[in-house]
A and B are shown apart, each in its own frame.
Chain A
C-alpha cells in the first residue's frame, strides 16, 4: 500500500533558527507532492507543491522543499523561522490513481 512517513512527530526550535521537516513516501512511477500547514482550529492550507521540473520548490511564508527521487523524499525547509510558524505540517502525496495520502503530521513549535 502507498504510504507517507513524516519522521518527526514534534520539532521544537528557537526563533530565527533553521528548520527541516522530513517526509518520505513509498516509491511509485509518478507522484505529485504537497506540503500543507494547519494552524490551531483551522483546516489545512497549501504551502507548496511539486508536480515536475526543478526539484527545488518555493512556497509561501519563506518555505521551500526539495524533491529527491532516488531517496523518495520531499523535505520541507525554512532558513529562519518565526513564532508565527508554530503549526502542524502535513506532507501529502498523490499517486497516479488520484489517491492522495497524508503523513501523520509534524508539530513545529517555535520558541522565543
Chain B
C-alpha cells in the first residue's frame, strides 16, 4: 500500500512565524500535491510538483511556498503565518499517469494564533 506521511497531525503556531509542513511518500511517485481543506470549500490546491525541484502554483498559492529537493519529500512553507491560514492541510501523491488516483496523508490541522 502507498504510504503518505505528514510529519504532524496537529500544530499550533503564532502569527508571523515561519511554518514548515513536511510530507513523505514511499511509492516513488512523480507527482506530489498540497491542499488546504476548509468547511464548505472542499479541497483547494495550493502547489503541486511533478518532479524533483519542479513546482507549479495551484489555485491559492499566495502566502505559501514549497520545496522538493528529493523525490519522496514535499514541503509546504508558510513564510509568515497569518490567522487566515488556520486550516487542515492535506498532502497527496500520485503516479504521473493521469488515470491514477491521488493518495493522501492523514492531514495536519494547523492553528495560527
Chain B binds chain A: yes
Q: Which of B31, B96, B99, B105 is A43 in contact with, Cβ under 8 Å?
A: B105
Residues of A within 8 A of B (CB): 6, 9, 32, 34, 36, 41-46, 49, 51, 90, 92, 94, 96-98, 100, 102-105
Closest 9 CB pairs of A and B: A43-B104, A104-B42, A98-B98, A102-B43, A44-B104, A43-B106, A46-B101, A32-B99, A102-B42
Residues of B within 8 A of A (CB): 4, 9, 31, 40-43, 90, 92, 96, 98-99, 101-107, 109
- Is the Cβ of A42 less than 8 Å from the Cβ of B107? yes
- Is the Cβ of B41 less than 8 Å from the Cβ of A104? yes
- Is the Cβ of B42 less than 8 Å from the Cβ of A43? no
Question: Mostly helix, strand, loop or mixed at chain B's interface?
Answer: loop
Known: A42-B107, A43-B4. A94 touches B99 (CB 8 A): yes
Question: Mostly helix, strand, loop or mixed at chain A's interface?
Answer: strand
Report the nearest A residue to B35, measured CB to CB. Answer: A102
- Give Cα A98 to B50, complex, Å: 10
- Is the Cβ of B98 less than 8 Å from the Cβ of A96? yes
- Is the Cβ of B90 less than 8 Å from the Cβ of A44? yes
- Give Cα A57 to B98, complex, Å: 18
Instruction: Return chain B residues, CB-CB under 8 Å to A6.
Output: 42
- Give Cα A36 to B9, complex, Å: 20
With A43-B90, A46-B103 given, name 19 new contacts (CB 8 A).
Answer: A6-B42, A9-B40, A32-B99, A36-B104, A41-B9, A42-B106, A42-B107, A43-B92, A43-B106, A44-B90, A44-B104, A49-B101, A51-B99, A90-B43, A94-B99, A97-B98, A98-B96, A104-B40, A104-B41
